Amino acid sequence: MHFTGRTWRPPYEAHSVIIQATSGCTYGKCRFCNLYKDEGFRMSSLEEFEEDLEEIKRYQPYARRVFWTGANPFAMSYENLKLRALTVRDYLIKCQSMAMFASIRDIRDKEVWQLRKLRAMGINGLSIGTESGDDDTLALAGKGYTAADILEQCRKLDEAGIEYYFVYMTGLAGKGGGYRNAVNSAKLFSQLNPYFISVDSLTLFSDTELYRMVREGTFTPAGEKERLQELQTFIQNLRIRTHLFANSVSNFYPITAYLPKEREAVVSELQHVIDTVSEEDMEVYRKKLKGLG
């Protein structure tokens, strides 16, 4: 298999077959991210892609879901996505869906009719690292798009019937900003249809821009309890039926919830943690983290 550089797939794609479609990230400017610092963006050639499919076919000829790796394979043009999706189906005849990471920017250059066709070819399951739906937080994080962009582009996915998943990151707004970020993000996400939302919590790594800002005194990180309160606020303000996963290692206290059914239970559970665990113990946990969770 042609895996180069850092290979990253979300925990919920653990049962998918993985294949490298691209490597690196087309953007590379998010201030909290150190994932692809030393890698340029590269699209795997069709030859490489086919060789990998040949190998997968030998071991998992009946694979039903394939995850394309790379920070944002959806950055490929419609034609390139189409060619690769059809090629997957040539090799893996039982494949029902192909999932990948996508940025809001990657959807911009695609028309709804193209998205519909990609959906019909099996591309279904875009993990979108929105991180927030609050304009100030998006700007602070250097995401390069606004809440209005998220709304406009994801509505196109809704129209085309492509399933997508959001990421929300607690702590990203900095000290004192969690409440505003949670309310505005929940308001935005509630106008869309993310199949589920996964939650991470900001962990500062020394090779990031945000870390440099902390040292310069231009960014003050949120405390751990503020982040849990932010998560409570986010959950309380979400007005859609969705599944929330806040169980990656970057979350001090892992929770999952079906919303709105489990809203009250999970908010109380978080309150119990806030009331019984000290800020210092929570900080010790975060200092031990070695990579983005």
**Which of 19, 27, 168, 221 touches ligand SF4 (CB under 6 A)?**
27
| Shortest distance in whole angstroms from residue 52 CB to ligand SF4 | 22
Q: How far apart are CA 13 and CA 271, in angstroms?
A: 30
Using the minimum distance from each CB to ligand SF4, give the nearer residue, 16 or 103: 103
Q: Which stretch binds ligand SF4 (CB under 6 A): 21-29, 74-82, 196-204, 266-274?
A: 21-29
Give me the least distance between CB of 103 and ligand SF4, in Å please. Answer: 5
Q: Which of residues 207-236 bind ligand SF4 (CB under 6 A)?
A: none
Number of residues engaging ligand SF4 in binding (CB under 6 A):
10
Q: Which of 71, 75, 222, 282 binds ligand SF4 (CB under 6 A)?
A: 71
Quote the CA–CA distance of 23 and 70 in Å, as a whole number: 4
Query: Environment class of residue 55 by beta-carbon count within 10 Å: exposed (0-12), middle (13-18) or buried (19+)?
Result: middle
Residue 28 interacts with ligand SF4 (CB under 6 A)?
A: yes
Q: Single out the residue of 17, 19, 35, 107 in contact with ligand SF4 (rule: CB under 6 A).
A: 35
x/- string (CB under 6 A) for ligand SF4, residues 126-145? ---x----------------
Distance CA 287, CA 11 (A): 22
CA distances in angstroms from 144 to 136, 138, 272, listed in the order given: 11, 7, 37
Query: Is residue 257 within a helix (H) or strand (E), and if so which, with residue range?
Result: strand 255-259
Separation of alpha carbons 205 and 61, rounded Å: 40
Q: Note whether 133 and 89 are within 8 A (CB).
A: no
From first CA to last CA, the distance across the chain in angstroms is 25
Contact between 55 and 1 (Cβ < 8 Å):
yes
234-263 residues in contact with ligand SF4 (CB under 6 A) are none
Q: Does 33 bind ligand SF4 (CB under 6 A)?
A: yes
**Helical H segments across the chain, by residue range:** 46-59, 78-91, 104-108, 112-120, 135-141, 147-160, 178-189, 209-216, 224-237, 263-276, 279-287
Q: Which of 16, 17, 19, 36 binds ligand SF4 (CB under 6 A)?
A: 36
What's the token pair of residue 198?
A: 């996964």
Q: Which CB, 95 or 172, lies closer to ligand SF4?
A: 172
**Of 31-39, 57-65, 217-225, 263-271, which part binds ligand SF4 (CB under 6 A)?**
31-39
91 touches ligand SF4 (CB under 6 A):
no
Whole-number minimum distance, CB 28 to ligand SF4, in Å?
A: 5
Task: Specify the residue, 25 or 56, whose C-beta has the smaller distance to ligand SF4.
Answer: 25
Q: Rounded to whole angstroms, how far apart are CA atoms 195 and 20?
A: 24
**Site residues for ligand SF4 per CB under 6 A:** 25, 27-28, 30, 33, 35-36, 71, 103, 129
